[in-house]
Amino acid sequence: MGQRFRLSDIVGRFGGELIGDGEITVSRVATLASAEPTDISFLSSGKYRQQLEHSRAGAFILGKNDHDATEKPRIVCDNPYVYFARVSSFLNPAPSAEPGIHPSAVVHEDALIHPSASIGPYCCIGSNARIGENSVLGASCVIGENVAIGSNVRLYAGVSVYQGCIIGNDCIIHSGAVIGADGFGIAMDQGKWLKIPQIGKVLIGNDVEIGANTTIDRGALDDTIIEEGVKIDNQVQVAHNVVIGAHTAIAGCTGIAGSTKIGRYCKIGGSGMILGHLHIVDHVDISAGTMITKSIEAPGAYTSIYPFAPHREWLRNTAHLRHLNELAEKVRQLGKDIEALERKKS
């Protein structure tokens, strides 16, 4: 069991209104259904209120509308989900790492590593690379020459950062991510593909999180840019020269083609596909599975996925879709015929 904290201490740190016994202690955040008496749980949607009534949690995080939904100790706040996230981070800090360089790591003599940084087993760090204060590199990370990594950055095992890329402060990059591989630049020359050198970099701002096995390609000429606060899920492909605006969130298996610019505070659902050389303004929500083929010039929600249905029904609907153009032409002709009939009557 982890360290236990009083509710009064949690409210003192994060605010909110404490109702009930502030001396009760909790050590873990859990769901309403699985919580035990030493856990704190939360209710962020009314559809789970019945679970609240039967939950064994010792305390709850509730919204103001659910102020009196239980008699157990509770913290009432404006946004229970955000409050839960803060409490969960507090109760589950990142694993600590001892400063220093593991004996098996290979570090170029020109690399600059802050004494408080932790370099794990079998890491390889190139010439003139810079690793900032309190940053942690897990086992087998590969850091290319002239890479700059800021302070309080955590790279989990097996992350590769190619030459010249820059990573800001307070970033998290998960295992298997590749930052700065060549973009897919090729030109047809006399029946053969000719590789176009990718000479830009990847620039990553502060407080960015990048999921496992995500790949962010370096720019062809200009840089690929990930602005501050961006959150990218697992297995996302970001192509060369893409710009992703601050605080945008991108779910897993999304693909973004080259030179597209995505605005600030956008949300892209899983398996979204965005074609190249497009511009998407700030505050755009793209539904899961949607393909974006044109630039988006107005904020709002966009969806293109065809709704699922039983297979036979889907086949019938798809067959109709194939003939939409013919149907539209018939409707236009029918309109002309009706107009002609009306003229005759008049």
| CA–CA dist 89, 83 (Å, integer) | 10
Angle subtended at Cα 9 by Cα 6 and Cα 14, rounded to the nearest 5 degrees? 130
- Backbone phi, psi, residue 292, to 5°: -100, 115
What one-character DSSP code corresponds to residue 47? Answer: G
Burial of 44 (0-12, 13-18, 19+ CB in 10 A): middle
Tokens of 192: 């053969």
Cβ neighbour number for residue 252 with a 10 Å cutoff: 18
Is 302:287 a contact under the CB 8 Å cutoff? yes
Q: Are strands 5-6 and 25-26 parallel, antiparallel or unpaired?
A: antiparallel
Residues recognised as catalytic? 240
Query: Phi and psi at residue 11, in whole multiples of 5°?
Result: -65, -35
